Structure 1
Amino acid sequence: MAEVKKHLYVKKRDGSVESVHYDEIIARIKHLCYGLDSENIDPAALAICVIKKCLYPGITTSQLDDAAAKMAITMANIHPDYEQLAARIAISNLHKQTKEKFSDVMDDIFKNDDYWNIGLSEDVYEIIMKNKDYFNSAINYENDYSLDYFGFQNLMQYYLAKSNNQTIERPQHLFMKVAISIHGHDIGSAIETYNMLSQKLFMFSPVVIQLQPASKKLNVPVISNYSVAMISDSIDGIYDTVNRLSNFVLPYSSTAVHVHKIRAAGTYIKGSNGKSNGLPLMLKQYDIVLKNYETPERPESIKGLAIYCELWHADIMKVLDQIRKTAIADLKLKNSYPALWIPDEFMRRVENDQIWSFMSPDHCPGLTEAYGKEFDSLYKEYELKSKSFVIKQIEAKKLWSQIIQSQIETGFPLLLFKDACNAKSNESHLGTIQCAGRNGDTVQFTAPDEVAICTTASIAVNMFLTTQNTFNYSKLKEVVKKVTYDLNKIIQNNNDILSKEKYLTLGLKQNQLAIGIGILGLADLFIKMKYSFDQKEALELNIKIHETIYYGALEASCELAAKFGPYKTYHNSPASKGVS
Structure 2
Amino acid sequence: MTAKIRTTVHNTKKGEESEFSKARLLSTLQKHSKDLNTEFIHLQEIVDKVSQCLPDSLTVNELIELTSEIIASLTTRHYDHSMLASRLLSSKLQKELPRTFSENIRYMRDYSPSKFKRCRKLVSEKLYNNAMKYKEIIDEAIDQTRDYTLDYFAIKTLAKSYLLKIEGKPCETPQYMFMRVAIGIHESDIKLAIETYNLMSKKYFIHASPTLFNAGTDSPHLSSCFLLAMEGDSIDEIFKTVHKSALISKASGGIGMHVSNIRSEGSYIAGTNGTSSGLVPMLQVFNSTAKYVDQGGNKRPGAICIYLEPWHSDILDFLDMRKNHGKEEKRARDLFYALWISDLFMQKVEKGEDWCLFSEDECPGLSDCYGQEFEKLYNKYEEEGRYKKKIKAQTLWHSILVSQTETGNPFILYKDACNEKSNQKNLGTIKSSNLCCEIVEYSSKDETAVCNLGSLALPSFIKSTGDNISYDFRLLHKVCKVLAKNLNKIIDVGDYPIPEAKRSNMRHRPIAIGVQGLADVFQELRLPFGSPESRALNIQIFETIYHASLEASVELAVLNGPYSSYEGSPVSEGILQYDMWGKQPTDLWEWDTLKSQIKRHGVRNSLLVALMPTASTSQILGFTECFEPITSNIYTRRVLSGEFQIVNKYLLKDLVDIGLWSEETKNLIVLNNGSIQDIDGIPDEIKELYKTVWEIPQKVLIDMSVDRAPFVDQSQSLNLFLKEPTMSKLTSMHFYAWRKGLKTGMYYLRTQAASSAIKFTLDPTLNKLKNGSKRSSSEPATLNVKYLKRQKYVSYDSKSDAETDGDDYLASKVNSKSKPSHDIFDEKVIACNIKEPQNCDSCSG
2: distance between equivalents of 1:378 and 1:198?
A: 54
Residues 50-70 of structure 1 deviation map (CA, whole Å, 9 limit, x = unaligned): 332x31121222112212222
* Residue 283 of structure 1: how far off its partner (Å): 0.3
AA in 2 matched with 1:476: L
Deviation at 1:391, TM superposition (A): 1.5
Query: Aligned AA for 1:359?
Result: F
C-alpha distance in 1 between matches for 2:551 and 2:348: 41
What pairs with 1:94-493 in structure 2 (closer than 5 Å)? 94-113=93-112, 119-214=122-217, 217-218=218-219, 221-294=221-294, 297-300=297-300, 303-386=302-385, 388-396=386-394, 399-467=396-464, 468-493=468-493
Partner of 2:523: 527
2:141 & 2:294 partners in 1: Cα distance? 37
Q: In the aligned structure 2, how far is the partner of 1:107 from the partner of 1:571?
A: 47
1:192-227: per-residue Cα shift (whole Å, max 9, x none)?
01100111111111221222202xx34x55332221
| TM-score (ref. length: structure 2) | 0.63
Write the letter of the residue equivalent to 2:184.
S
| Aligned residue type for 1:560 | L
**Matched residues, number:** 566
Q: RMSD across aligned C-alpha pairs, in angstroms?
A: 2.5
Q: 1:156-182: per-residue Cα shift (whole Å, max 9, x none)?
A: 111212222222210001111111122
Between 187-196 and 309-318, the greater mean CA deviation after superposition = 309-318
Which residue identity does 2:418 align to in structure 1? C
Counterpart-to-counterpart distance in 2, 1:92 and 1:330: 51
> Any conservation in 1 of the 2:46–2:70 contact (CA below 8 Å)?
yes
Match of 2:546 among 547, 550, 567: 550
Q: Equivalent residue of 2:481, what SS?
A: helix
Q: What letter is aligned with 1:176?
A: M
Rate the CA distance shift 1:476–1:239 in 2: closer, same or farther, 3 A: same
2:510 equivalent to 1:511: no
Q: Deviation of residue 373 (structure 1)? A: 3.1
- Partners of 2:125 and 2:349 lie apart in 1 by 58
Instruction: Report which of the two has the higher share of helix.
Output: 1
> Cα distance, 1:392 vs. partner?
4.1
* 8 Å CA contact retained: 1:252, 1:298: no
What pairs up with 1:32-43 in 2 under 5 angstroms? 32-43=32-43
SS in 2 for 1:306: strand
Residue range with higher mean Cα deviation, 431-440 or 145-154: 145-154
Tell me how far 1:577 sits from its aligned partner: 0.4
Relative to structure 1, the CA distance from residue 156 to residue 71 in structure 2 (aligned partners, 3 Å threshold; closer, same or farther) is same
Judged with a 3 Å threshold, the aligned counterparts in structure 2 of structure 1 residues 533 and 351 are, in CA distance, closer, same or farther, namely farther
CA contact (8 A) 1:225 1:454 kept: yes
Q: Scaled by the length of structure 1, what TM-score is found? A: 0.91
* 1:70 match: 69
Alpha-carbon distance in 2 for matches of 1:255, 1:17: 52
Structure 1 residue 355, shift from structure 2 partner: 4.6
Q: Contact conserved, 1:117 with 1:161, CA < 8 A, in 2?
A: no
Alpha-carbon offset, residue 320 of structure 1:
2.6
Residues 17 and 498 of structure 1, relative CA distance in 2, 3 Å threshold? closer
CA distance in 1 between counterparts of 2:406 and 2:85 reads 32
Aligned-residue offset at 1:21: 1.6
Change (3 A) 1:334 1:50: farther
**Is the alpha carbon distance of 1:195 and 1:349 closer, same or farther for their aligned partners in structure 2, counting shifts above 3 Å?**
same
Q: Does the aligned pair in 1 maintain the 2:356–2:387 contact within 8 Å?
A: no
SS at match of 1:466: strand
Conserved 8 A contact 2:215-2:222: yes
Unmatched segments (≥5 aa) in structure 1: none
Relative to structure 1, is the Cα distance of residues 47 and 385 closer, same or farther in structure 2, using a 3 angstrom cutoff? farther
Going from structure 1 to structure 2, the CA distance change for 1:291 and 1:463 (only over 3 Å counts) comes to: same
Q: Is the counterpart of residue 566 in structure 1 residue 562 in structure 2?
A: yes
Find the residue that maps to 2:3 and give its secondary structure: helix
Structure 2 CA distance for partners of 1:283 and 1:493, relative to 1, 3 Å? same
CA contact (8 A) 2:303 2:335 kept: yes
Cα distance between partner residues in 1 of 2:334 and 2:503: 24
Deviation at 1:492, TM superposition (A): 2.1
Q: Is the 8 A contact 1:456 1:517 kept in 2?
A: yes
CA drift at 1:447: 1.0
Choose 371-380 or 237-246, whichever is displaced more.
371-380
Distance in 2, matches of 1:483 and 1:281, equals 42
1:86-144 CA-partner distances (Å, limit 9, x unpaired): 32232222223222211111111111246998511112211111221211111111111
SS of match in other structure, 1:249: helix
Change (3 A) 1:324 1:47: farther
Q: Which amino acid aligns with 2:41?
A: I
1:171–1:117 Cα change, 3 Å: farther
SS in 1 for 2:387: coil
Which string of whole-angstrom CA distances, capped at 9 and with x for unpartnered residues, describes residues 480-504 of structure 1? 111111111122224xx679xx836
- More displaced 10-residue stretch of structure 1: 263-272 or 466-475: 263-272
The offset of 1:558, in angstroms, is 0.7
Can you give the 5+ residue segments of structure 2 that lack an aligned partner in the other structure? Answer: 580-845
Residue identity matched to 1:61: V
Say whether residues 1:536 and 2:532 are aligned partners.
Answer: yes
Q: 1:340 to 1:205 in 2, by over 3 A?
A: same
CA shift, 1:404, in A, is: 4.2
* CA spacing shift, 1:148–1:384, aligned 2, 3 Å: farther
Which amino acid in the other structure matches residue 559 of structure 1?
Answer: E
SS at match of 2:522: helix
Supply the distance in 1 between the matched residues of 2:470 and 2:350 (Cα, whole angstroms): 40
Matches within 5 A, 1:52-63: 52=52, 54-63=53-62
Q: Secondary structure at the match of 2:536?
A: helix
Relative to structure 1, the CA distance from residue 334 to residue 211 in structure 2 (aligned partners, 3 Å threshold; closer, same or farther) is: same
Alpha-carbon distance between aligned partners in 2 of 1:237 and 1:378, rounded to the nearest angstrom: 26
Counterparts of 2:298 and 2:458, CA distance in 1? 26
| SS in structure 2 at match of 1:244 | helix
Aligned sequence identity (%): 34
Structure 1: which amino acid aligns with 2:185?
I
Change (3 A) 1:149 1:416: farther
Question: How far 1:538 moved relative to its partner?
Answer: 1.9
1:232–1:261 contact (8 Å) kept in structure 2: yes
Note if contact 2:448-2:501 (Cα within 8 Å) is conserved in structure 1. no
In 1: Cα distance, 2:387 partner to 2:98 partner: 68
Distance 1:112 1:221 in 2: 22
Task: Work out whether residues 266 and 277 of structure 1, in 8 Å CA contact, stay in contact via their aligned partners in 2.
Answer: yes
- Residue 317 of structure 2 contacts residue 330 of structure 2 at CA under 8 Å; is this kept in 1? no
> SS of the counterpart of 1:341?
strand
From the superposition, tell whether residues 327 and 196 of structure 1 become closer, same or farther in structure 2 (CA, over 3 Å). farther
Local SS of the residue matching 2:507: coil
- In structure 1, C-alpha distance between the alignment counterparts of 2:207 and 2:296, rounded to whole Å: 21
Identify if the C-alpha distance between structure 1 residues 71 and 244 changes in structure 2 by more than 3 Å, giving closer, same or farther. same
